[in-house]
């Protein structure tokens, strides 16, 4: 099958290359399974996204959605480009700060935050996206006790339908996230009355892997209406954060996904934003939180074929399963697969690529046309940079694999593979089991 490859990948002499490095050589050198990431692809993505938005206004800040891929090295790459981060936990907060992102470029999100995490955010001067009035009142208590001002925004649920998988549609009416627009004015009123709470922002995020730009424009319109109303209440808006969600073209074959570009995203959203700002005499910064779009296409998961089994279907049994890439099992996601050591060969059969996990659902790719596959071949799973390693587990006592970073053909580990010792590192033996 002729796939239209992302610019992180190329084919030379029958081998697949990522970031200019030969995937077959990388697999031999570092072992499999192996995540391989093209660093410059991420850098280019960041610059392109930012430039697209800056066509319309200078006051733009990109907050990388850390959960997509929180390898500290990748966070550093993005920090060096000027990225902030959307962080969802104490751990992501720490990762973002350690990577060199300044506290003022971070937004602490989530619908279920612990007191310890709220305390840490206030202590470090990180802005909080508040998800409920209950949470607001907890923040009020903590900030008064600490005598420290905290800047907040509320996460507004714009209640719009979004064309994506229901598990990743976050701005629909029955979502657990955010406060509905009709209830949010009261929340801002209450925040304005608090001594150490400064409501200066608004936040929304309508979902993930969205392949149309219209919903973003609609959400922007809804949010900017609320922005106008809270301005009248006395809120001085410093930022409006429109979340992430721009999708990538996972289907790269004959039925290719038509994925919008950041330029198309900007054209759908920025005029709405700029016009609303002018109309209401406000000048908040435009914040946006791309995760998948920044890192998704930068990475392949390389996995070796253990055996091929011809029964009612032909199964290609590989050494990576949903322990390392859960998206197909969890969201029915599509990832293209290639035989990395036979990248120029013609397709000869239909194969189903399955992992080593003891579950029927451990399928990475079903019914794909591939060249003749044999034990020892190397399968590349494409577009594995977002929600790949980040969602991995040690299920079935499989140690997590290594991650390699490639820059202009130079390849080095950015995370070593785990061993069995890593799996049992946190195990404690109760006294009656000790002899
Ligand atoms: C997951 C998430 C993002 C990133 O979504 P992508 O689809 O990866 O761009 C951004 N903001 C929030 C609040 C999120 O939950």
Ligand 1 neighbourhood includes 204 CB (under 6 angstroms)? no
Contact 108, 91 (CB under 8 A): no
Considering only CA atoms, which of 424, 426, 417, 421 is closest in space to residue 392? 417
Ligand 1 neighbourhood includes 205 CB (under 6 angstroms)? yes
Which of 65, 216, 327 has most ligand 1 atoms within 8 Å of its beta carbon, as the pocket-test mutant? 65
Ligand 1 atom with least separation from CA of 67:
1
Pair of tokens at residue 96: 């973002």
> 39-54 and 72-80 helices cross at what angle (nearest 10)?
40
CA distances from 269 to 161, 222, 227, 241 (A): 17, 12, 15, 12
Pair of tokens at residue 204: 């929304």
Contact 177, 171 (CB under 8 A): yes
Task: State the number of CA atoms in the 13 A half-sphere of 190 facing the CB.
Answer: 17
Ligand 1 centre and the CA of 260: distance in Å?
A: 16
Work out the number of other CB atoms within 10 angstroms of the CB of residue 369. 13
Contact 336, 3 (CB under 8 A): yes
Which residues have C-beta within 8 Å of that of residue 370, sequence separation ≥ 6? 1, 316, 337, 338, 339, 347, 348, 349, 350, 351
Q: What's residue 100's pLDDT?
A: 98
Contact 349, 314 (CB under 8 A): yes
Distance of alpha carbon 336 from alpha carbon 381, whole angstroms: 6
Question: Which residue is catalytic, options 23, 220, 358, 401?
Answer: 358
Ligand 1 neighbourhood includes 121 CB (under 6 angstroms)? no
Distance of alpha carbon 309 from alpha carbon 312, whole angstroms: 9
The model scores a pTM over 0.85? yes
- Which helix or strand (DSSP H or E) is residue 220 part of? helix 214-233
Hey, is 166 helix, strand or coil?
helix
Ligand 1 neighbourhood includes 241 CB (under 6 angstroms)? no
For residue 32, how far is the Cα from the chain centroid?
Answer: 24
Ligand 1 atom with least separation from CA of 203:
13
Q: What's residue 159's pLDDT?
A: 85
Q: What's residue 322's pLDDT?
A: 98
Contact 231, 280 (CB under 8 A): yes
Strand partners, 378: 304
Residue whose CA lies nearest to ligand 1 atom number 10: 244
Ligand 1 centre and the CA of 207: distance in Å?
A: 7
Ligand 1 centre and the CA of 318: distance in Å?
A: 30
Pair of tokens at residue 104: 């003022």
Ligand 1 centre and the CA of 293: distance in Å?
A: 10
Which residues have C-beta within 8 Å of that of residue 391, sequence separation ≥ 6? 325, 326, 327, 330
Q: What are phi and psi of 129, to 5 degrees?
A: -90, 110
- Which helix or strand (DSSP H or E) is residue 179 part of? strand 179-180
Ligand 1 centre and the CA of 205: distance in Å?
A: 7
Q: Per residue of the chain (435 residues), give pLDDT as tens.
A: 689 999 999 999 999 999 999 999 999 999 999 999 999 999 999 999 999 999 999 999 999 999 999 999 999 999 999 999 999 999 999 999 999 999 999 999 999 999 999 999 999 999 999 999 999 999 999 999 999 999 999 999 988 877 777 777 777 777 889 999 999 999 999 999 999 999 999 999 999 999 999 999 999 999 999 999 999 999 999 999 999 999 999 999 988 999 999 999 999 999 999 999 999 999 999 999 999 999 999 999 999 999 999 999 999 999 999 999 999 999 999 999 999 999 999 999 999 999 999 999 999 999 999 999 999 999 999 999 999 999 999 999 999 999 999 999 999 999 999 999 999 999 999 999 998
Q: What's residue 164's pLDDT?
A: 77
Whether residue 321 is preceded by a cis peptide bond, meaning omega within 30 degrees of 0, is: no
Ligand 1 neighbourhood includes 371 CB (under 6 angstroms)? no
> What does DSSP assign to residue 39?
H
Our answer to whether residue 358 is catalytic in this structure is yes
């Amino acid at each position: 099958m002729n796939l239209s490859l992302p610019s992180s990948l190329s084919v030379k002499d029958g081998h697949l290359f990522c970031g200019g490095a030969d995937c077959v050589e990388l697999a031999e050198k570092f072992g499999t399974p192996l995540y391989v990431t093209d660093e410059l692809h991420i850098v280019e993505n960041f610059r392109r996204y930012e430039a697209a938005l800056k066509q319309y206004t200078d006051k733009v800040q990109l907050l990388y959605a850390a959960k997509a891929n929180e390898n500290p090295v990748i966070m550093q790459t993005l920090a060096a480009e000027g990225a902030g981060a959307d962080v969802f936990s104490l751990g992501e907060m720490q990762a973002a700060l350690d990577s060199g992102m300044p506290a003022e470029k971070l937004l602490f999100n989530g619908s279920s935050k612990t007191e310890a995490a709220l305390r840490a955010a206030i202590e470090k001067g990180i802005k909080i996206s508040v998800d409920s009035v209950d949470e607001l009142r907890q923040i009020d208590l903590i900030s008064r006790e600490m005598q420290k001002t905290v800047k907040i925004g509320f996460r507004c649920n714009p209640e719009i339908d979004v064309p994506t998988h229901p598990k990743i549609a976050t701005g629909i009416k029955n979502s657990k996230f955010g406060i509905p627009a009709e209830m949010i004015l009261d929340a801002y009123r209450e925040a304005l009355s608090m001594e150490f709470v400064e409501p200066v922002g608004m936040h929304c995020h309508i979902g993930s892997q969205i392949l149309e730009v219209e919903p973003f424009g609609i959400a922007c319109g809804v949010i900017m209406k609320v922005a106008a109303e809270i301005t009248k209440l006395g809120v001085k808006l410093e930022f409006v954060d429109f979340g992430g969600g721009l999708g990538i073209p996972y289907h790269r074959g004959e039925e290719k996904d038509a994925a919008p570009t950041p330029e198309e995203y900007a054209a759908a959203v920025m005029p709405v934003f700029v016009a609303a700002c002018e109309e209401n005499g406000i000048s908040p910064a435009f914040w946006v939180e791309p995760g998948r779009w920044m890192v998704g296409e930068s990475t392949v998961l390389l996995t070796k074929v253990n055996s091929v089994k011809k029964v009612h279907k032909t199964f290609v049994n590989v050494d990576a399963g949903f322990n390392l890439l859960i998206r197909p099992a969890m969201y029915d996601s599509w990832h293209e697969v290639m035989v990395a050591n036979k990248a120029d060969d013609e397709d000869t059969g239909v194969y189903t690529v399955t992992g080593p996990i003891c579950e029927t659902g451990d399928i990475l790719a079903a019914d794909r046309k591939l060249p003749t596959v044999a034990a020892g071949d190397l399968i590349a799973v494409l577009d594995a940079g977002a929600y790949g390693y980040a969602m991995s587990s040690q299920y079935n006592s499989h140690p997590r694999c290594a991650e390699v970073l490639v820059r202009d053909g130079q390849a080095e580990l950015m995370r070593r593979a785990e061993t069995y010792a890593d799996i049992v590192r946190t195990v404690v033996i109760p006294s009656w089991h000790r002899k």
